[in-house]
A = this chain, B = another copy of it.
């Protein structure tokens, strides 16, 4: 599966089928989308905060992140982007991004002009699929807020790693319970809002408990359910869009009656 997903169109199709059912006509429309593939080194800006943008990009290979820098120069990563993600899709509607999107590893991105996306959205169902992907990203962002606000170091770390393996699994990037995570503890700290030293100690604590092993760039989850428990992790928020495809159930008019 992973090999097939090196093709930008297939990747995009897989992403959209994750949140909505597509007809053959819609798949064809997606396939007709002009995408220019660009290879980037690690630590390259893709879009910078406040840039005007007439295009959005599809991450195809590698890892990327969105971050903001605060007054004292430290940065906070607000999202990790995996292959298949559209890190700056929001610029389609507001023409700018409020974060800096950069690669964390060598990467390939597919550049899609907004005008082509807009043409695609003549089909409402496709527009909805993209809309859902934006909503799904927002759900992840809210969970990060919870993570930073209410969980201590070890738990916060466990939660983030649980999120990552879940998302990696969705795109078929997990072998057994291991996946490639070629990022530094400093970057992890920027995402967790913690110092590098403390990240290191939290990871050790997870290792000592036999929950994970992280050698080189390979992270292995040794005990997925215990890790989830340690991180107070529940994957529902990752699957909102998926379960939503058929909106059927009657809404119980509890309070707003």
Contact = CB atoms under 8 A, between A and B. Distances in A.
A111 B257 CA distance: 10
A233 to B, nearest CB: 9
Interface of A is mostly: mixed
Contacts of A162: none
Interface in A47-94: 50-55, 57, 66, 68, 70-72, 74-76, 78-79, 90, 93-94
Interface in A206-257: 232, 236-237, 240-241, 243-244, 247, 249-252, 254-256
A93 B54 contact: no
A195 to B, nearest CB: 11
Copies of this protein, total:
2
A244 B252 CA distance: 38
A56 to B, nearest CB: 11
A27 B50 CA distance: 30
Contacts of A252: 51
5 A-B pairs with least C-beta separation: A149-B193, A95-B244, A71-B232, A94-B244, A148-B148
Given A93-B244, A145-B145, 5 more contacts: A66-B142, A76-B145, A78-B142, A79-B142, A94-B244
